Amino acid sequence: MLRAVRERDAYANLVLPALLRDLGLSGRDAALATELAYGACRSLGLLDAVIAEGAGRPIEEIDGPLLDVLRLGVYQLLRTRIGAHAAVDTSVALARSEFGAGKAGFVNAVLRRAGEKTPEQWVEALAPADPVGRLAFEYAHPAWIAQAFADALGARAGELREVLAADDARPLVHLVARPGDITAEELALVTGGEEGRWSPYAVYLDGGDPGKLEPVREGMAAVQDEGSQLVALALTRAELDGRDTGRWLDLCAGPGGKAALLGAIAAIDGFRVDAVEPAAHRAELVRKAVRDLPVDIHVADGRASGLTPGYDRILVDAPCTGLGALRRRPEARWRRTPADVRELVVLQRELLSAAWDLLRPGGVVVYSTCSPHLPETVSIVADAVRRLGAEQLDTRALLPGVTDVGDGPGAQLWPHRHGTDAMFLAALRKPR
């Protein structure tokens, strides 16, 4: 799996489940493989710094396949309870079988150097001196991402350690019970899960393969972070100026989770949802997610969808850096760069403007990102209010019972406060 991520930029959460199935791994073996694979992806920056120190050379000078073995070994030494002797021996044996005795000796030497210090001592030895950089190193985040979190926390930047720790921990699996098909209470009973705290449709699972669960196989439930559920629910709860005619739109629908929840809620009142997705393969994912629901799929660019204006409710869940979901995408934190933000901000602004043109007077747009980064969140919304004359609603009122989402009018969820991805959302109403 590490090789696929390194060589092909593969997504760990897509590659690993297939590998586990192909190899017939289950139970404790599958759990250990998952911990090692995802953990090594998450911890890359920390691991590479220790490896470079132990090897006495930059990691760029180490062959990629050998680096994968070293990362697995150092991860076991520094971030698991696996005994040092076992971690070294299994890594050396793997290197010997793959590359021969010479490189096995190199692996042995590097891992023994890595094992000479505790994780805390390595942080002391290698972390930057500045507070944000030090925390970023300790919790295996690029420094620019840690700084983005600190900026978004604002006056509560003292919570940065908690945010990074929550982001670095293994998250619970969140399920969504499809309204009209099954309740969260029923889903929890069937799956052995626990009902969610914030969404009336959420259920938490401690682990396992949710794809094997009967309600998921039958389409009565799906995997969806509770924060994403709250975004869709906020759109349905926003107060319109005038009657809801039942024309709803999801302008950035792929891969379909929010469109499915919106469609299930719309079906209760006889409403319909249009779902726009520019990529054909992602549109197919949407089609599978919304089967048997009143959702019409359009393969089009949301900035020029060709749809007829007059929508009551529009969701713009904009493409973003995904910094709020790093705990679920272990390799993503090391792929993103600050340069990505510039292009995304332009796209986010254009999508929100396109939604505004499709919205009827008195209708509501909910803008959301799976990122707390200020240029992608409050800056985009402030620009829309200024340029478009939008009326910004107090989004906190659309999240009843959800505490500690900021000072408004937008709302920011956090993994350390809410157990969700770090979703941002803001509601804008079009004046008549």
In 114-262, DSSP assigns E strands to 173-177, 194-195, 202-205, 221-223, 247-250
Question: Are 309 and 361 a contacting pair, CB within 8 Å?
Answer: no
- Residue 56, token pair as written in the block: 């006495």
First to last CA, the chain: 54
Token pair recorded at residue 418: 């809410």
DSSP string, 138-179: HTT--HHHHHHHHHHHGGGGGGHHHHHHHHHSPPPEEEEEPT
Q: Cα dihedral sign for 178, 180, 185, 187?
A: negative
The token pair at 299 is 């393969």
Given the DSSP bridges, would you call strands 391-392 and 424-429 parallel, antiparallel or unpaired? antiparallel
Per the CB < 8 A criterion, the answer to whether 238 and 393 are in contact is yes
Are 123 and 137 spatial neighbours (Cβ–Cβ below 8 Å)? yes
In angstroms, rounded to a whole number, what is the distance separating the alpha carbons of residues 245 and 97?
66
Among candidates 341, 316, 396, 317, which has minimal Cα distance to 147? 341
Is 320 annotated in the active site? no
Kindly name the residue from 41, 252, 320, 370 that is annotated as catalytic.
370
> At 28, phi and psi to the nearest 5?
-65, -35
Neighbours of 162 (CB within 10 A): 15
Written as six digits, the tokens of 142 are: 């690029």
Active site residues: 370
